[in-house]
Amino acid sequence: IFCAFIGISLIHFRYRKKLDKYLFICLQCFFILSAISEIFFTSFIYLSDWTSIAGHIIGVLAAYFLYKGVFETGIRRPYTFLSNHLDESDSKVKLFEEIITQNEQCVKMLINNCDDAVFVVNDNKIVFANKKMSELLGIERVDDIINSSVERIMLEEVKSQAYNLINNTLNNKSSASFVESKLLRADGQAIDIEVSTCFCMYKGEPSVMIMFRDITPRKQIEVLKNNILENKKLISKTTEL
């Protein structure tokens, strides 16, 4: 048994570079102490001999080193490693949450100061709108339209087009360039607008962000230009006569 422990110790020493240093030291102590313990066990005559007592004490020490090596390397260290990494991951998650929250606040600030009317639709309801949207609709507070149906601002003639635009954006998770449409104000007046949509996540829900641009002044200018042209044609005809 002594020779077996010494042989295993020598083999173990040859592969020391492939092992954890702490585990290597503990196992070497176990092999050497176990070998010494066997020497004491083979030399005692009575159980009460000092060699027997010394053999048992050294055997206990050998078992202690084996326990330390296996327990520390195989259980405690991996647990500590995982625990530290979990704490680190937890800290990173909290950091990302803070960054996302700050970014959401920045996005809201930009949207609220945007020159165009911006609002978010979820389940055909307006769940968010900026100040410009309330101005465009002619209402005092943005909260007055939150959670109201999107049909509230639709003219009957553009409902089909509007719903197609919203559904296509939502289903394809895409965006759409500005197209001309009409908007129904709170006072019942219809105004000309350009509308653009894009897919977004609002409070964890798939939604559609919609941007309105009032083009009433541009349309009025176009009407005036057309009137001027018509008047010029009439004047030319009158001159010819």
Q: What's the rounded Cα separation, in Å, for the pair 215 and 129?
A: 19
Name 103's Cβ contacts closer than 8 Å, sequence gap at least 6: none
Other CB atoms within 10 Å distance of the CB of residue 19: 15
pLDDT in tens, 174-196: 988 889 999 999 999 999 999 99
Tokens 């083009």, residue located: 215
Question: Average of pLDDT values for 86-101?
Answer: 53
Place of tokens 């943005």: 142
Query: Residue 93 in contact with residue 85, Cβ under 8 Å?
Result: no
Q: Report the distance separating Cα 33 and Cα 65, nearest Å.
A: 9
Task: Please tell me which residue, 209 or 234, carries the higher pLDDT value.
Answer: 209
What is the Cα–Cα distance from 143 to 37, expressed in whole angstroms? 84
Summary mean pLDDT of the chain: 77
Q: What is the pLDDT of residue 21?
A: 74
Using only C-alpha atoms, the chain has a radius of gyration, in whole angstroms, of 41
Helix H or strand E segment including 31: helix 21-43
Which residue did the predictor score with more confidence, 171 or 85?
171
Instruction: Enter the pTM of the model.
Output: 0.53
pLDDT at residue 80 tops 60: no
What is the three-class DSSP state of 116?
coil
Under 8 Å between Cβ of 158 and 143: no
Strands of 26-152, DSSP E = 117-122, 125-129
The pLDDT of residue 125: 94
Confidence of residue 217 (pLDDT cuts 50, 70, 90): confident
Euclidean distance between CA atoms 224 and 124, whole angstroms:
37
- Could you tell me which residue, 177 or 42, shows the higher pLDDT? 177
pLDDT of residue 99: 43
Mean predicted confidence (pLDDT) in 25-54:
70
Phi, psi of 47, deg, nearest 5: -65, -25
Which is higher by pLDDT, 48 or 214?
A: 214
Among candidate residues 127, 117, 163, 166, the one with its CA nearest the CA of residue 148? 127
